[in-house]
């Protein structure tokens, strides 16, 4: 099964833009989900799952495992989330994303 990355971001967010361009520079394929529209159900659903609305967030699906990387406090996982990784910097976000991707 191919690894799938969804990057949830805001088009006005500097951190989101830097993460997006870093992934592009490393030629890591991802689907960008723009969460600027407050009616985006995918974004609302993810916010509910991690109990947070801070962006960017990444969902990595690989071999039946779902990993969510986010900038929010670590809270108990719920639903179908297999692994949650809270981070506190862009470098850590990218590092964890690459680990989950490989």
What does the pLDDT look like over 42-74, one tens digit per residue? 998 988 888 888 899 999 999 888 999 998 865
pLDDT of residue 7: 97
Are 65 and 84 contacting, i.e. CB atoms less than 8 angstroms apart? no
Per-residue tokens: 37: 């529209």
Residue 82 has pLDDT above 80, yes or no: no
- Write out pLDDT tens, residues 3-33: 899 999 999 999 999 999 999 999 999 999 9
Cα separation, 40 vs 28, whole angstroms: 24
Query: Which structural domains are found in the chain, ordered by start?
Result: 4-101 (3.40.30.10)
């Amino acid at each position: 099964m191919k690894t799938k990355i969804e990057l949830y971001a805001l088009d006005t967010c500097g951190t989101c833009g830097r993460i997006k361009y870093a992934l592009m520079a490393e030629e890591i394929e991802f689907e960008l989900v723009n969460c600027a529209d407050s009616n985006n159900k995918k974004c609302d659903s993810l916010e509910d799952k991690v109990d947070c609305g801070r962006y960017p967030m990444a969902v990595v699906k690989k071999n039946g495992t779902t990993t969510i990387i986010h900038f929010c406090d670590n809270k108990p996982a719920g639903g179908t989330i297999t692994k949650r990784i809270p981070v506190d910097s862009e470098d850590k976000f990218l590092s964890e994303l690459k680990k989950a991707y490989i």
